[in-house]
Copies of this chain bind each other. A is one copy, B any other.
Amino acid sequence: MDQRNRAAMGGENLLFLTDEQLRKGIEAMFFAYRGFTADPDRILEQHGYGRAHHRALHFINRTHGTSVNNLLGLLGVTKQSLNRVLRTLINDGLVESRVGRNDRRERNLFLTHAGRELERALSEAQRERMRAAYRAAGPQAVAGFRQVLEAMMDDEIRTQYDTLKERRP
């Protein structure tokens, strides 16, 4: 145990800040994320899509009529990278791109019926796992889970996350 840990354990019960505890948290994050994506991945594979498509579908569904720029901010990828994914979704008839009303430079993105169906299947698979985890852990654990995750985000991202959270469509 190094200096920092001895300091951290000073007065109170700060055992949860030892390097050992932090490392367990890191590994839990790594392994849990694998589970988190496993179920949608299986469905996506059947359609010849990848995670990038899932993410696009998710956020287009969340923020109906969003602009491409806004979507880029949420996804944290480049325009070109998103465009490739978006093009296939549009060509396959899962996403509709309409010229903006006020600003005709923008494109407003919507899911088609087929898009909503696939998004539903993907998110239901993901929710099912989350539901099982929540049920197993209980409400208090869930509150803690969310608190830690939110504290782990970059400030910029947390702002976007909060904005998303508050929206009531």
Contact = CB atoms under 8 A, between A and B. Distances in A.
B13 A139 contact: yes
How many identical chains are in the complex?
2
B152 A148 contact: no
- Size category of the A interface is 35 or more
Given A139-B16, A140-B144, A145-B148, A134 B32 contact: no
A1 interface: no
Contacts of A55: 30
Interface string A120-133: 00010011011111
Contacts of A165: 24, 27
B148 A133 contact: yes
Interface string A96-138: 0000000000000000000000000001001101111111111
A143 B143 CA distance: 10
A57 to B, nearest CB: 13
A134 B24 CA distance: 12
A142 B133 contact: no
Interface of A: 13-17, 19, 21-36, 38, 55, 62, 76, 123, 126-127, 129-154, 157-158, 160-161, 164-165
